[in-house]
Structure 1
Amino acid sequence: MSFLSIDGVVKSFGPTTVVKDFDLRVERGEFVSFLGPSGCGKTTMLRMIAGFERPSAGRIVIDGEDVTDLAASRRRIGMVFQAYALFPNLSVHDNVAFGLKVAGRPKREIGPRVEEMLTLVGLPHLSNRYPYQLSGGQQQRVALARALAPSPRVLLLDEPLSALDAKIRVSLREQIRALQRELGITTIFVTHDQEEALSMSDRIAVMSEGRIQQCATPFEIYNRPSTRFVAGFVGTLSLIDGVRAEGAGAIVDGTRIELSETPPVAEGAPLTLTLRPEAVKLEPSSDRPNRLTGEVRDAHFMGSVVRLDVHVAGSSVLVDTFNRSAVPPPARGERIDLYFAPADVGLLADRPQT
């Protein structure tokens, strides 16, 4: 049995349904991210797990206990908010101790537990400071320590890094992931930042319009998106229209493209092929038998990489090639050949997968 089960959850506010038939299984100690654009229902789903909102239908089970109608205070959930939500009139020590006091922990246990949590997040020397005396990253680590102090069954993180600058975000997400692994706590992380989700998660649930479009490992989400929405939202992906050919192949602009799998459609049926920019090369090799010819529409200099926009058979194919100071990139209007391996070609099937 999964540690956290979400079964057929629906949430409506009046006539508007913001979460639709949401099903998910999360294993003990797993780190799962809800990834999607603003308004897709990810924070509403998080609030239902926490107990701040009640589902209109469906149920939520944690460690075998149905908590659908249980008050938030009785669920043993730790939550870290985007805006930190620290008490400005309390010291760092008292902020972390707050949840322990509410839970009725004996006074003799509170001090050592607070010290343990602040040491865990690297802030024991700041226990007597107040929130206004801390940086944004420090405040977020205090919020994390406060959420972890009562030993919650599940940790919920609602876009906790979005208010921080880029360098601090990278550092803090590494710390959060390391802490989560060390403690083995089941964690749900809400974000609209695909890089955060890809770098931190065991699995990612990509959401759109209240539904899970695909739930899989970061590797699968990035390399094998199952719908056009996932393909367009996660990373940069070129979509190429073709038709099914005999065997494991497709025809694009009269050229046969070898695939690593046989398409699940009839011969002659339309297909959408996918390619990541880093998978396309400008030089042939034995492991890249596929070739398409196109016209360079633009070249974007990105430092160590030059991204080419190549028009191929009515589609725009993006190509990332390393910047070499002695070799200028192809010019606009130039005809070039593109090479790629069968294993790098994906197929889209527009159906939600959970």
Structure 2
Amino acid sequence: MFSLFKRRAPVTAHVNGAPLSVEPGETLLQAALRNGVAFPHSCRVGGCATCKCRLTSGRVKELTQAGYVLSEEELDQGFILACQSVPTSDIAVEVDLGAMPAQRRVAGRVIGQERLTHDITALRIQLSESLHYKAGQFANLSLAPLGDHARSYSFATDVQPDAQVQFFVRKVPGGALSSLVNEGSLVGTEAVVEGPLGEFWLRPADAPLLFIAGGSGLAPILAMLREAARSECARPVTLLFGARQERDLYGLEDIQDIARHWQGRFDFLPVLSGQTDADGWQGERGMVGDHIARHVAGGPHTYLCGPPVMVDACTAILTQSGVAREHIFADRFTTIRGQQ
């Protein structure tokens, strides 16, 4: 009977043939990083697929469903997310250890704050040197008053020639960094931006584009659209922006400007879930996912960013509507990723 209470023994994970010890309850990524292995990773919460690897032997317990970020083909080939996989036996995996994006820490200073909504503030930072990234990626941001306390936010613009970057910071109750940004004046405050991170960016293709954003998830989508507009992209575009009330809509002038410069069709559809008939709103109502089905003709490549509940629900609707899983790209914000 007392054997039931014995502590589980460590198991061994062979990463490209090299063994490393994995403690009980530890994910493969945690074990790899603890052992000094430069394992590709980014969000660490199962939302970006940077840490994907192929399980060639053994068993793992998956903490979240990988089908939201891995294609059916990858799942059939045995791919797993290292950050969400706890080995339950000795395992062997194959991974491209050269896939880790080149990350840098660049110092900067806050040069602007702009309140976008009652709970989202745009923070503009002048970097000491240019940081190269793909529009759609994110970075870890830290501010001097909080020391090394860092949180992840998507770049809200594409790379600028003046080395300025911008983030949209949504206030979360109890969030130290988000409260600091939304409640106080930070102009002149020293900052550090570390990145780039993530695999959310616009893939080259000729297919129509469907963008779906919720809340501060509009940031990376605006960056991708602005960059594509500057490159004279002519792919047909539909942008669905989900919010609760009309006061939660923002970035409308930016969207109008992008639409004016877009070389092809550009449709913008804001959808409000908490607006009533008495509020005078003349636009679309309901959940943003309710409006997907009529925008999937032509097999659009779809990019989603926002709260996990929204992203997961919309992903399910997209696949049910016939959109190929390999043509769905998502960035799922969590309380760790982009909200505190």
Fold shared per TM-score above 0.5: no
TM-score for both structures, normalised by structure 1: 0.24
TM-score for both structures, normalised by structure 2: 0.24
